[in-house]
Amino acid sequence: MAKTPGTLHALFPAVPKDNRGRASSAFEAQAPARGSEAPGSPLQSLTRRTAAYMDALMKGRVKIFTYGCQMNDLDSLKMYTELSKAGYVPTDSTREADVIVVNTCSVRQKACEKAMSNLGRLASVKLRKPSAVIVVTGCVAQQEQGRILERMGHVDIVLGTHQLHLLEALVEEARAGRGPVVAAGFSPCVPFMDTVFDHGLSPEPHRAYVTVMQGCDNYCSYCIVPYVRGPEISRDASKVLEEIRLHAGRGSREVFLLGQNVNSYRGGMSFPELLRRIHDIEGIDRIRFTTSHPKDAGDDLVACFKDLPKLCSHIHLPFQSGSNRVLAAMNRKYTKETYLELVSKFRQARPDMAFSADVIVGFPGEGVNDFDETMDVVERVRFDVLFSFKYSVRPNTKAASLVDDVHGEEKSRRLDILQRRQREITLENNRLRVGGVYDVLVDGASKKHEHQVHGRTTHNVIVNFDGPRELTGSIVKVRITRANPNSLTGELLASPPS
Ligand code: 5AD
Ligand code: SF4
């Protein structure tokens, strides 16, 4: 899977505040009680009574910290959804929370350390409020299991990546004083992935994130994912289609398919077949997916970009290295040449195709010539976005037995060269878009500029332009007026939004 902190933006950066349904009414009921109404006024008294009533109905407040990829973002949204159905209300405040979940990522050492240090800090929260239930989920929970309880006495529940459906029941147990507990087995079916969720709490209701598979069988030599997410399990196509129809009926315009390796999907049909079936769903105007492995991207996937106009003109296609020697040591099962050939096939099928990718520098044994090959791929493909990482040793992986022989400074030097050149290319790509008119799916109001909104082109490039927040969720035509390092600025054309 190819998204990590600081790579593709966090989907749900904060606890949703603008949520609907039960959580929303509870929030609204509480807000005025702390507000400016004159003490003792009839309105304040009514509000206080309403808040007390809502408090009596709710079981407690929940705060979830999310690290890592879009799969984790979606798992967190599902956990909020499950807990809110059971009577819990999201909160921004760690102090106020009765349940605190840390949904972790272990793909790289840094991500792992970040999650663990946040978890460590929660010891003081538990000290102040012993009734608070502390839960660890995600890849670090799967990797460390009982060791987390040994090291951190304040943790109540460790939930592995296949066991998230147990969350609510185990929280109830913990609140009744039973625990601590570790549930981290792998199972052939993952109920949490399979359940059709309605995501009433999603901060982006116009975009439906839908899991199609999870796990990975590829065992790239540097990667911990197969060990912490387990083997590939595809979700039945009928479930995937049902969930997308549900979202379409509720107004989602875009569907974003998620999985560690979506194009090895086998849920009763192939991934390209699934794309064609989704394309037929009324109300869905855009289809995206991530992540793809180049070795599994066949001609049938390429053909989808020729045949399916709703399929967005963007693919995330991690290449990891441009050196065939390093690619072989990474167990990637393709070469620089076949990767470049694949890119040109996509470009033939869809001439304006945009690419993003992941790349690692400083893999064991990577020499300067190998790094030059990586830079050559960067020059040839001209990615819009490149998520670049210094190699870090991950426990249990094959590469962990190799000598990590590219020293830290050299890794930093290579990363710096790569990132500097990529920044130039991104800006050059963006400049080529100035003057063009693009369909933009509006994601919401700008945080920085009051009268601005932001959205994405089919190429997944962010566009900011003047417009009312009511455009959120519609697709509008925007002329690009300026290229920025990581986005475009444009002007709204007069045509009514679709
Ligand atoms: N070191 C550095 N980067 C890694 N990635 C995965 N494992 C490691 C590692 N051990 C990167 C890959 C992958 C992305 C999600 O994280 O580029 O595609
Ligand atoms: Fe991606 Fe390879 Fe890791 Fe699987 S093992 S998640 S294909 S990097």
Residues 6+ apart with CB under 8 A from 404: 364, 391, 393
Residue 187 is predicted with a pLDDT of: 85
Whether the pLDDT of residue 257 is over 80: the answer is yes
Counting ligands in written order, the one closest to the CA of 218 is 2
> Is the distance from CB of 387 to CB of 111 less than 8 angstroms?
no
CA of 326 to the centre of ligand 1 (A): 14
Say which residue, 195 or 18, is predicted with more confidence. 195
Name which of 170, 172, 168 is nearest 183 in CA terms.
170
Say if ligand 2 is within 6 A of residue 225 CB: yes
Residue 258 is predicted with a pLDDT of: 96
Tokens of 242: 């049902």
Q: pLDDT tens for residues 420-451?
A: 999 999 999 999 999 999 999 999 999 888 89
* CATH superfamily assigned to domain 21-183: Cobalamin-binding domain (3.40.50.280)
Task: Tell me the pLDDT of the chain averaged across its residues.
Answer: 89
Whether the pLDDT of residue 13 is over 60: the answer is no
Whether the pLDDT of residue 27 is over 50: the answer is no
Domain ranges in the chain?
A: 21-183, 191-432, 437-492
Question: Cα 266 to chain center, whole Å?
Answer: 22
Say if ligand 1 is within 6 A of residue 223 CB: yes
CA of 71 to the centre of ligand 1 (A): 15
Say if ligand 1 is within 6 A of residue 394 CB: yes
Taking the model in full, what pTM does it have? 0.88
Q: pLDDT tens for residues 354-402?
A: 999 999 999 999 999 999 999 999 999 999 999 999 999 999 999 999 9
CA dihedral sign, ordered 460, 465, 469, 471: negative
Name which of 127, 125, 119 is nearest 157 in CA terms.
119
Q: How far apart are CA 482 and CA 484, in angstroms?
A: 7
Counting ligands in written order, the one closest to the CA of 220 is 2
CATH of domain 437-492: 2.40.50.140
Q: Which of 4, 107, 232, 261 to mutate to test the pocket of ligand 2 (most atoms within 8 A of CB)?
A: 261
Q: What is the mean pLDDT of residues 297-310?
A: 98
Tokens of 100: 């605190």
Name which of 243, 142, 261, 228 is nearest 194 in CA terms.
243
Say if ligand 1 is within 6 A of residue 70 CB: no
CA of 318 to the centre of ligand 1 (A): 10
* CATH superfamily assigned to domain 191-432: tm_1862 like domain (3.80.30.20)
